[in-house]
Structures are given as C-alpha cells and as structure tokens.
Amino acid sequence: MICISTSVTAFEPEKVEVNPELENFTAQFLPPQVLNVTDGVYVARGYNRDNPVLIEGKDGLIIVDPGESLQAAEVVKEAYNKQLNNIFDRKPVKAVIYTHHHDCHIHGASVFADNDTEIIAHDLLDDTLYYDWYGQLFPSRAEGGMMMLGGLYGNDSDWYAGGALFYKQIRGPSGYMPPTITVNDTLETNIAGVDFNIFSAPGETRDVLVIWLPEKKTLVQIANCYEAFPAITTMRGAVMRNPLDYIDSIDLYRSFDAEYMVSLHGPNPVVVGKDNISHTLTSYRDAIQFIHDQTVQNMNKGMTPGEIIEVVKLPPHLANDPYLQEYYGSVERDIYEIFWWYRGYYTGKSRDMYPQSPTEEAEMAAELAGGVDELTAKAGNALDEGNLEWALVLADDVLLLDPDNSEAREIKNSTMIALAENTKNVQERNYLLSEYLVETGQAAYPASGKPKLAFANMEDKAVTYMPMDTLFRIMAVSLDASRSLDKEITVGLQLTDMKNTESSDYALYVRKGIVEIQPEVPEDADFTITTSSMVWKNLVLGKLDPQKAVSDGKVKISGADSKAFYEFMALFNE
C-alpha cells in the first residue's frame, strides 16, 4: 500500500488531452455498479482499485479481495448493502480470501471481517508482501507506485485518466488482517454451504490464488489475465516475473471450462459463456507465449532487446483482440523484461559492456552535436518534427549539463505533455505527467530522495506484522557507509517479547560500511540494547526518536552510557 502522505502544491493545470482510445476505455468503468454474475455471486466494479467479489452462501458470506483501504471497503460495503437489501446485516462474513498481496486487494479486510472470520491466502503472501513491498525497497516502490498511478494529481484532477486496470482510487488507513488459513498448492473446502476449489496460480506474483466454484461453474481470477496487455513487470518496479508462469496459470484457468469468469480488475469484469471465456483466455496466453517465444528465438540468434523490438510484433488476430490492447502493459517493454529475465542487462555486444551514466551520455551527445547550444537546437528540431521520444532524450541531456537552460526546459515540458496526450498506455501517461509536475515545482512526493522519511511513514499496520528479517534488511540498507567505514562496533540486542516466537537475542555487527546481524548474544558486545520488538521496529524505521525512547523507559542500555546508543543509531540515517 502506498501510505506516504502527499503534500501537493496547489496549481492550475493546463489542459492535458487524453488519447481517445484510452478515454473510451476508461469510460467503461462508469458508473460504478454491483453486477450479478450468477446465482449468489456478485462483483462491485468501479468503486475502488479492485473489483471486490461477494459470494452468498446459505448461512454466510465470502468476500474476495476486500479493497485498498478502510474507506474503499466501506464504499463497496455500502454499495452491496444498497443493492442486496442490507445483506451484511442479514448474514455474517464467514471468510475473506486474498488473491495476492498487492495493496488494493488486502487493506479493506477488517471492514468485512471480525475475529470469527477466516482469512484465506497463499502461504507465500506474507513473504511476498514483506519482500516485494514493505521491505528494503519500500521507498522506491512507494514513490514508483505514486508516479505510475497518477497519485500526484489524483482522481479529481482533469489530468487523471484512470489506471487501466481500475478507475477510482480511495486511499486511507489499512484494515489488513493476517491469514488464518494458507494455501500451498490447492485447497478444497466448503464455506457457508458453497464448495470452493482454490489453486495456487503464480504469474504476476508468486502468491496468486485463483478460485473455482464448481457448483456455479464460476472462475474468479486475477493477476494473470486482464482486460489489457500484461506488464511482465510494472514501471513502478517489482520483483522480476517468470513469463512462463503466466501461461501455465492461464492454462489452469482454461481447464475448468467455466461458464462464468469474474476478473478482479478491469471495466468489464464478467465474461459469460464457455466459448467466450475459452477464446479470451486462449488469446491472452497465446499473446504472452508468442512474445516470449519470439524473444527467446531471437536471443538465440544473438539479437539484443533493442533489435528484437524492431522485428517482433503481435500477429493481427492478437493485436486486434480487445483484451490485448496496450492500456497497461507494452509489447516492447515486455520484450525487454523477458530478455532481462533470462540473461540480465548485458546484451552480449561489446558496445553494451561499458555502462555509462546519464551525464556521460549527455556529454557525448553534446560533443557530437557541437556543444550544448547545438544540442538544444536539435532537441527543438526533434519536437517540431514530431520525433517526441528523441526530443525528450535530447532536452533531458541538455538539462543534465545545464539545469537552468530555459529553452531545453520548455522543450522537455512540451514533449512530456505531448507524449502523455498521445499514448493510450496509462503507466506511460502517469509517469510523464508526474515527472512534469515534479520538475516544474507544481507537485512533490515528500519522501523523494529521503528513504528514512519513507520508512518512517510506512503504514503502522504493516509494521506490526513485519518479520524481524525484513526489519534487519531495512537496517542494513539504511547504514550510512561514509560515516561507518572506520567503525567496528558490536552491539547486543535483546527483545523482551520474542521469547516464544522468533529469536529474541541478536548480535549487531557494524563493520567498515556494512552491518551484519546474527541471532546470538555476542560475548564481546560494546553495549546491549534491551527493548520490545515494536519499539525496536519503530526505532529502526525512524518512527521513534532514540533519546525519547530511553527517557520514556522503552529502551534500556547496559555496558555503556546512552550516548553510545545514540551515536550508534545515528549511523542509520540514509
């Protein structure tokens, strides 16, 4: 969940047009609706970032993916109650099912669930949640998510054109509840009189679950098939995804011969009829396989990803499929992702063996153009001729060398606006407009370049359930290397509330620019910290001031005075 608050400077945005194809696609989300899929199965489309599903049983209800926040879930609950005669007053929620860990699918749980409600998820959900999101890369993930989703200008701005997989965003505090039942491979169960077959279906994430209701011939799916071309990895950044997992999981979906398919994202979440569902799923998996296989085939010919995108295009029967339009993912970007999945960044060409910094590339471009002024002129010519991608790169090169160059700034700004207006890809549009707003001072992501601030603003609910291994990874990447290169410090850590769960005693070794943490009591500690796990989490994340923690009696230091503790904690300020 992107839980860092935004402080956006008020501005009067100039008109930014929306690509007509994207505009028409986004309009399909409106008005929000509760749709009746089949007997006892409903989906709420357009109310928040996912499409929460309600399944009615004889003596209870089941919610699949409760939404992105407490507020978002309340909106959905109200819509269901209005449509279904106050159904939540008439029947209890027996289970909430998380299909995967992405924030828009898990943070509304407590609106629907109580202490008697089972929370069902993949057994990898917690690991994936704290590795891919609430972990050492949280500042980068949160900022990338804000940029990708248009969070700097928000739903109500004239600039906003939806998120392709959703229309509305309703941010707020988390109501996440940890799983009580986990699924490794399959789970067959009956909840409230409804038979459920739940399967692991990795693809977009490792922790995807797909739900098959055999009596209702209904498939509830997410993460591997959307109403838009897939993003093998999103532009916000994510753990690399195995493209073949998508294909295998969609083949699992096909095997059910479903008569109804419900998607937890997208403007048209219900597909009815075996033939329609089979066609949709077959085309989707064929498109992924085509791009994958042709990329690998050309890799085997010695081609680089840049060369491959020139020759690999979807065949017409797939390129024209309504489920495969590039509103979200991109064929070209997926080719790069597939290439990197198999061999990393290096293409095998000598010219690509020597990575250049952006400034070095800009200096080379200026040298070839005949100087910064000439490079600026070429950027302007590219813009005038409609070569927008070139204009963006060349203008940005000038600004790297001459940040106050007003002509290059105007060219870059005009280019980003034009690219945003032309693209039907939401990720591209939102990134372009977000960078424009940030660079022109019209909006700001408050934690940009300030990872300590990002960690300090992490959702409290996420901190509560954070494993210690995740916290220690955050600690490791927060160490100020320049201030610790001459340090060799050994610190004991005793967590008073962890005696019966995880390890309670640790050794923290700061050693010339790195921190190593071992589950042991060091015999030669310079001093020892004694506190609770939550206090320690809040100290490491910057939510709690070390001096206040000591003065309030939440932290006790033995073997040295408090000053040694403060100096130690001051090393972790990146």
How many C-beta neighbours within 10 Å does residue 257 have? Answer: 10
C-alpha–C-alpha distance, residues 262 and 67, integer Å: 16
What dihedral do alpha carbons 355, 359, 362, 364 form, nearest 10°?
Answer: -60
Closest to 287 measured CA to CA, from 310, 268, 313, 259: 313
Neighbouring residues of 381: CB distance < 8 A, sequence distance ≥ 6: none
**What's the pLDDT at 237?**
85
Strand partners, 491: 508, 527
Closest to 289 measured CA to CA, from 222, 340, 232: 232
CA angle 56, 61, 64 (to 5 degrees): 95
**HSE, side-chain direction, 13 A CA sphere, residue 361:** 12
Neighbouring residues of 359: CB distance < 8 A, sequence distance ≥ 6: 400, 401
C-alpha–C-alpha distance, residues 400 and 394, integer Å: 10
Is 501 strand, coil or helix?
coil
The terminus-to-terminus CA distance of the chain in angstroms comes to 22
Cis amide prior to 31 (ω within 30 degrees): yes
Task: Check: CB of residue 495 under 8 Å from CB of residue 531.
Answer: yes
Greatest distance between any 2 Cα atoms in the chain: 77
C-alpha–C-alpha distance, residues 131 and 231, integer Å: 20
Neighbouring residues of 79: CB distance < 8 A, sequence distance ≥ 6: 32, 34, 44, 47
**Three-class SS string for 258-298?**
CCEEEECCCCCCEEECHHHHHHHHHHHHHHHHHHHHHHHHH
**What's the pLDDT at 442?**
87
**What's the pLDDT at 191?**
98
- State the sign of the Cα–Cα–Cα–Cα dihedral 326, 331, 336, 340: positive
Mean pLDDT by 10 residues, the chain (574 residues): 36 76 96 98 96 98 97 98 98 98 96 97 97 94 91 86 92 96 98 98 96 98 95 87 96 98 97 98 98 98 97 97 96 96 94 94 97 98 97 98 97 96 96 93 85 94 95 96 94 86 85 94 92 97 96 96 96 83
Tens of pLDDT, residue by residue over 30-50, are 999 999 999 999 999 999 999
**What's the pLDDT at 4?**
33
**What's the pLDDT at 13?**
52
C-alpha–C-alpha distance, residues 213 and 52, integer Å: 16
Task: Check: CB of residue 202 under 8 Å from CB of residue 223.
Answer: no
C-alpha–C-alpha distance, residues 288 and 247, integer Å: 7
Tokens of 260: 């109804």
C-alpha–C-alpha distance, residues 470 and 97, integer Å: 25
**HSE, side-chain direction, 13 A CA sphere, residue 75:** 22
C-alpha–C-alpha distance, residues 108 and 155, integer Å: 19
Domain boundaries in the chain? 467-569
Task: Check: CB of residue 547 under 8 Å from CB of residue 566.
Answer: yes
Tokens of 487: 């340090």
Residue 239: what residue type? V
Strand partners, 63: 54, 96
C-alpha–C-alpha distance, residues 42 and 34, integer Å: 7
Task: Check: CB of residue 266 under 8 Å from CB of residue 226.
Answer: yes
Residue 283 to residues 225, 252, 503: CA-CA distances in angstroms? Answer: 10, 14, 50
Question: In whole angstroms, what separates CA 102 from the centre of its chain?
Answer: 6
Task: Report which DSSP code applies to 418.
Answer: H
- Please state which CATH number belongs to domain 467-569: 3.30.1050.10
Phi, psi of 195 (to 5 degrees): -75, 135
**What's the pLDDT at 500?**
59
Tokens of 96: 């909430």
H-helix or E-strand containing 21?
A: helix 20-27
Tokens of 330: 């991109």
Tens of pLDDT, residue by residue over 185-232, are 999 999 999 999 999 999 999 999 999 999 999 999 999 999 999 999
Task: Check: CB of residue 213 under 8 Å from CB of residue 195.
Answer: yes
**What's the pLDDT at 154?**
82
